[in-house]
Structure 1
Amino acid sequence: MTQADFYAADPSARASWRMAILMGRNARTYKFALGDALLRQAAQGHTEIPLRDLAASYAMAFLDRRAPQAPGNEEALGATDFLTVAAQERAESRRLGHPTDRLLDAAEQSIPGMVMRKFHNYGGGETPHRFYDLAGRGRHRTVRLSPALGQVARSYEWDGLGAELDARWSIVESSFATGIGRSLIEEGISVDLDTLHIKDRYRRRSVTGVAEAVAGFQHGRCHICDEPLDSGTRTAVDHVFPHALMRRFASVGGWRGPDLDSLWNLAVAHAQCNGEKSDRMPKPAELTRLARRNEAIMRSPQPLRTTLRHTLRNAAPGRRIPNWTAFLHEVGKVCG
């Protein structure tokens, strides 16, 4: 699956938003702070705002997180660089509840070139929808929020889209954190089944919830019935191939398939659908949706992509499994 295939499955502004947030390159976490600010402004009904107002929302969203950045050139940052100013003004800005004038000046100056110019980019080009345009010059610049952004902000998936952004931010943030990033990026993640949270494989540090991390790659739809995961409906994380298989096979010689507790086999569903499915084997349509979901995750940056790559690479020692459709077919044969 390409990013174009992901969009074709749901040709909407929501899909474009997910391409930017979930599939965009993440050398820094600026994109998530801008996304948070854009959603908040659009949800308030704004269609045009001064750049300085957007910069204020952006700066505070950034300060509300740990916001570590990818290592490499921090020592080369100048005294007026946004990251330098943010570090120096963080405590006072948080005490005030709004950015200090110095931080706001730095955000307003840097945000157009540092993040706004690149927000719509993803691995394969630019998103089909644009969410804003910048007009004017100097202190009189304004940000025109597009109708597409209004559709996203007013969507029935509003809560879910915010949770997806927060989860992706947490994953990237954790991969940048000192001492944790290497294992996340090189080895991927694991899942704590007791809390249904993604965690660092070695340090067992919680990163974010499984449901929030993968729902966007399912277009916010239930894996079982394929209907929207409305914010008022309870959800669950489903083992697509039931976990009971590993216990069942253990009593007759051992389970010969891949780990069913891993990310590749976990999908978000309505709690009612999940309860009714129980321990039955997945239907063909569910396997098709799982293959597409996993292919979509493979189009996202690390560490989720790394985790699924390891699963494919280790599925059949000495033999290459080309894609998720073939992989799921192999698992089905083991179960049969």
Structure 2
Amino acid sequence: MPQHFSNEDYLKGIVLFGLNAATYKMALAKILLEAAKEQKNKIHWSELASSFFQLYKSRLAEKSMPQQGIAHRQTFMERIVQQHQSGKLSESDAIEQVGLKGFIDVIPRFQTIGTNKDIVKEFFYEFQYGSTLTLKDSLLNLSSAQLAELEGEIDARWGLLEGAFSINQSQYHLANDIREIYLQSGYERKPLTNNIPFLSGYQGNICFYCAEHLDSEIHVDHVLPRQVLQHDEVWNLVLSHPECNLLKSDRLVGKHFILKLIARNENIMGSNHPWKAKIAASLGTTPKQRAANLQKHYAKVSTVLGNNYWGGCDSYNPAIDPFYKKLITVLNNESQSI
């Protein structure tokens, strides 16, 4: 991978592009960001255990959502918090147990992207197990704006993992009506929920249509117009600036945006996103199937809309779109070419 990526890109890759069996990576990421805010280059094990325990204690008190997806099983942290809440463990004893057993997997494995252990090996910290985490400049030099954006993505990722685990444990089917999450009603857009930072990450944190950075006002748009498809499937939803959304309206987009949509969907498929199964069910179980089926949808919409065509904003050039230079996009392209 010859491209150079920013420290922020690498940390987003850890958070976004991971096959999470539990939520431990999100909790550790939050602790690391807090230490970076305070410019602490060392975290002692007892402090780490205390922060980890307090995070889970607070989270499970607010809404007791499952922290892993296997039915009738709990994570070690869920059990420790419950034992503390029932009076079986004092807080100090609970924290001691976290220090002894809570980090066996997450500390050694955190610095991986997907299943690749080499891309960011020891990039953000080194550790002496049971003693200290030593943070590196790659983490400490992140700006306050970068830290805030990362924190938003981590919070949203944690919430979506809990939702996915709840679905798995309860054997519920994920609702098809994405409007419950994104839209006030069928065609009315609104500023999005706290899931936006997470979804934005798979799009490279840029407007889908002009490739400029997304700001505080964001629209959700159907790439292939909803008036034709008559559904709100996540594979067809993207984030855009309001003005770009209005310029596009319900016109047919250029084929370069369909190719970009295919790549964006593969970014989601490369992770443990809760909607991964929905995309697979709608478009196919392999990248080739998904691309072919999306192209078929495009051809059908083209037949309906005819010459009502929109090639994109005047400033947009697909050849230099930063989306294709983002870490997770590059990783997914490389994995498909192997």
Structure 2: distance between partners of 1:119 and 1:145: 13
> Is 1:134 the counterpart of 2:140 in the alignment?
no
Residue of structure 2 equivalent to 1:18: 12
Structure 1: distance between partners of 2:159 and 2:175: 13
Structure 2: distance between partners of 1:128 and 1:244: 43
Contact 2:71/2:170 (8 A) holds in 1? no
After TM superposition, list the pairs within 5 Å mapping 1:110-259 onto structure 2. 110-126=101-117, 128-129=119-120, 130-135=123-128, 138=130, 141-151=131-141, 153-154=142-143, 156-177=145-166, 181-184=170-173, 188-193=174-179, 195-196=181-182, 211-230=196-215, 233-246=216-229
The residue type paired with residue 87 of structure 1 is Q
The residue type paired with residue 161 of structure 2 is V
Contact 2:70/2:168 (8 A) holds in 1? no
Contact 2:50/2:95 (8 A) holds in 1? yes
Residue of structure 2 equivalent to 1:317: none
Residue of structure 1 equivalent to 2:300: 334
Residue of structure 2 equivalent to 1:271: 242
3-state secondary structure, aligned to 1:117: helix
Aligned-residue Cα RMSD (Å) equals 3.1
Structure 2: distance between partners of 1:144 and 1:57: 16
Deviation of 1:149 (Å): 2.1
Structure 2: distance between partners of 1:127 and 1:62: 29
Relative to total residues, which structure has the larger strand share, 1 or 2?
1
Percent of aligned pairs with the same residue?
Answer: 26
The match for 2:100 among 109, 118, 125 is 109
CA gap of 1:128–1:265, structure 2 versus 1, over 3 A, is: same
Structure 2: distance between partners of 1:265 and 1:142: 45
Gaps spanning 5+ residues in structure 2: where? Answer: 184-192, 303-338
| CA deviation string 1:87-114 (max 9, x = no partner) | 122488xxxxxx9212221222224313
The residue type paired with residue 159 of structure 1 is A
| CA deviation string 1:2-36 (max 9, x = no partner) | xx7xx96x822233222322221222211111111
The residue type paired with residue 106 of structure 1 is Q
After TM superposition, list the pairs within 5 Å mapping 1:281-292 onto structure 2. 281-292=252-263
Deviation of 1:42 (Å): 1.1
Deviation of 1:270 (Å): 2.1
> Is 1:100 the counterpart of 2:91 in the alignment?
yes
Structure 2: distance between partners of 1:300 and 1:326: 21
CA gap of 1:148–1:111, structure 2 versus 1, over 3 A, is: farther
CA gap of 1:118–1:237, structure 2 versus 1, over 3 A, is: same
Structure 2: distance between partners of 1:105 and 1:191: 45
3-state secondary structure, aligned to 1:238: strand
- Give the paired residue count: 284
The residue type paired with residue 293 of structure 1 is R
> Is 1:57 the counterpart of 2:85 in the alignment?
no
Residue of structure 1 equivalent to 2:322: none
Structure 2: distance between partners of 1:191 and 1:60: 35
CA gap of 1:264–1:325, structure 2 versus 1, over 3 A, is: same
Residue of structure 1 equivalent to 2:315: none
Deviation of 1:132 (Å): 1.5
Residue of structure 2 equivalent to 1:253: none
> Normalising by the residue count of structure 2, what TM-score does the alignment of the two structures yield?
0.72
Structure 1: distance between partners of 2:254 and 2:148: 29
> Normalising by the residue count of structure 1, what TM-score does the alignment of the two structures yield?
0.73
Deviation of 1:299 (Å): 0.8
Contact 2:26/2:154 (8 A) holds in 1? yes
Residue of structure 1 equivalent to 2:331: none
| CA deviation string 1:42-82 (max 9, x = no partner) | 1222222222222222222222323523336848x9xxx54
Residue of structure 2 equivalent to 1:70: 69
The match for 1:87 among 82, 90, 93 is 82
Structure 1: distance between partners of 2:283 and 2:147: 33
Deviation of 1:156 (Å): 3.5
> Is 1:296 the counterpart of 2:267 in the alignment?
yes
Contact 2:31/2:52 (8 A) holds in 1? yes
Structure 1: distance between partners of 2:56 and 2:218: 29
Structure 2: distance between partners of 1:127 and 1:275: 43
| CA deviation string 1:150-174 (max 9, x = no partner) | 35x4264433322222222122212
The residue type paired with residue 53 of structure 2 is A
CA gap of 1:280–1:21, structure 2 versus 1, over 3 A, is: same
Which 4+ stretches in 1 moved above 4 angstroms? Answer: 72-75, 178-181
Deviation of 1:192 (Å): 3.5
Structure 2: distance between partners of 1:225 and 1:331: 23
3-state secondary structure, aligned to 1:165: helix
Contact 1:245/1:335 (8 A) holds in 2? yes
